[in-house]
Amino acid sequence: MSQKKPARTLLFAASLLFAAACSQSAFAEEAVLAPAPKVTSSESGKQTAIFAGGCFWGIEGVFSHLKGVSSAVSGYHGGSKADAAYSRVSDGNTGHAEAVKVTYDPKVIRYDQLLRVFFSVGADPTTLNYQGPDRGTQYRSALVPLNAEQAKVARAYLAQMGKSGVWKAPIVTKIEAYKAFYPAEQHHQDFMLRNPNQGYIVRWDKPKVAALKKMFPGLYSPTFKTG
């Protein structure tokens, strides 16, 4: 069972208690500088891509602090519309993954750069069906390309990562075919911005944004892109 599930379920009723418990038991994940992509993308015009990498709060927070990203929306991908609700997805049996739909301008930030940031500070590509303290298929890491160019670049980058020697364990992140993306409940949107002192955010997600700022200063934006 995910350690985060009860905390998030009781978030608005017991946030102070959760923050205290979190500070005693959780530690931030270590950022790893992923290799510079050898295959770069050549998209034009406004583009959208979907990334799954554990809790969508932190992944949304990372992408919301990137130059060229105009929107990062938390949601669910992989299952049916009927099951696209946090109460159902949390059981881990719906086929959904917590995911983030990112809208970006390739003239400012390319898809391959988004991949590098994602695997450097957002998600560990070697952990199967879990990220940090969260366990279950809903926390799997996955790339969901939305066009042929993204699919080509994603396949090439996963192969490059596997040969890079940066990670000692095998790369388990999968490429998933797009089905449908269902935005999460409103209280999950822009969560890091609206809840900067919440216990889970402080221990697990703020360090991701701090690592982004340190490792990719040219791509980092101090402004959180809402929506």
Catalytic residue numbers, as ranges:
55
Beta strands 141-144 and 174-175 are parallel
8 Å CB contact between 182 and 73: no
At which residue do the structure tokens 């983030």 appear? Answer: 100
Q: Where are the beta strands (DSSP E) in the chain?
A: 47-53, 69-77, 97-104, 130-131, 134-135, 141-144, 174-175, 181-183
Beta strands 174-175 and 69-77 are unpaired
DSSP assignment, residue 73? Answer: E
Single-letter residue type at 35: P
Distance, in Å, from the CA atom of 95 to the CA atom of 78, rounded to the nearest integer, reads: 5
Distance, in Å, from the CA atom of 103 to the CA atom of 47, rounded to the nearest integer, reads: 6
At which residue do the structure tokens 């418990």 appear? Answer: 21
8 Å CB contact between 64 and 190: yes
Torsions phi, psi of 87, nearest 5?
-60, -30
Q: Provide CB contacts within 8 A for 6, sequence distance 6+.
A: none
